[in-house]
Structure 1
Amino acid sequence: MQRLSAARLGDLLAGDLRAFGGPSTIEPLAGRIRAEQVSIVLRSTLLGMAANILNAATFVIAVWGSPDQTKAILWASVIIAAAGFVGLRARSSFQSVKPRSVSRRTTQNLVRNAFLFGTWWGALPVLFFGGATSAAQVVITCLSAGMIAGGAASFSTIPIAAVAYTLPIFVGSAVAIVWLDGAVNVPVAILMVSYAIT
């Protein structure tokens, strides 16, 4: 029974949508479908990574001079380094000839990377929202909502990657909202839930 669960999880992480009522496909066809899906994601990756870098830098500017400045620089440095690395790799992958088929492992790696980026962005509100000024809180809120929307759009061809990216940001935002007291958090929570479910 445990092997079956591990196999189903592997299928799900490879983009197989049978668990959600999607069609069953044989492997040669599934490999070609994955190639198209990954190709579409790669086309927008360079621009997406540039947005990650710009957004991380914007956050540092928003908290510049605050007690969280050093922590913000460290947090942003990880995003900037990872986004630069992924962007350069995506650029070289996109310039090469598009493969006719992509392995399950390639899609699983893409899902893993989406989860890692989403987790780091999800840490942003948890680490900084409570101690931030109201102006910095607005920036954090905009960044979190924007990263949820941008990630969902970027990974739309691979739904499990979209979920792997957006769910940690939503959870991090929800944790930050719950930790704070105040009536303003109710509308913010409603907006965050509406962004996450659409």
Structure 2
Amino acid sequence: MTIDELLTTTRSVRKRLDLTRPVPLELVRECLEISLQAPTGGNRQGWHWIVVTDPDLRKAIGDYYARSWNTYYGSGSSAASLYAADPERVKIQERVSSSAAYLGEHMGDVPVLVIGCISTPGGLPEGNQAGLWGSLLPAAWSYMLAARARGLGTAWTTLHLAYESEISELLGIPGNVRQGVLLPTAYYTGDTFRPAPRQPLDEVLHLDRW
């Protein structure tokens, strides 16, 4: 596929993750090797990647994730609750929420869970933390792009962070390393990915001033 096609059709895959087909670790390593080429502040490269394939560990993480999803959905702030005044957008939001609910039920069944982390030797900075997370999140997106190019589906989620301490203890993650994103990874079923509906550019573009 072209670069533009890759960039515009890499979607969060949830219901279409193949939960029965094993994913070779070497394929995951290829995607992570590409992710390490992403920019990072001061060239610190403080990222760490936890690749979880052990069924018991995946189930434990999935249980925490399900608890977090249920709390999130019950709060009324999930995708299905947004844009109620826009009938067309409501349909999209309902599909997103249904897809997210499916992942909430099946996170522990996904064959590979990748957790992107970053070193925080002095703890989390006060105020705007864009400098810190900006050194991890581009690499995570690169991983998702590389996975898409290899026939793998992923989904960007941070709901597990409600139980970050518990998951860190489960996986032996040091206290000075913080989790930033969870990327469930599996082969996907079907291949009908296309650009998603988005706001018109002119509604969000500001030239010189707001």
Q: Which has the higher contact order (CA 8 A, sep 6+)?
A: 2
- TM-score range for the pair, normalised by the shorter chain length: 0.3 to 0.5
TM-score by length of 1: 0.33
- The structure with more helix, counted as a fraction of residues: 1
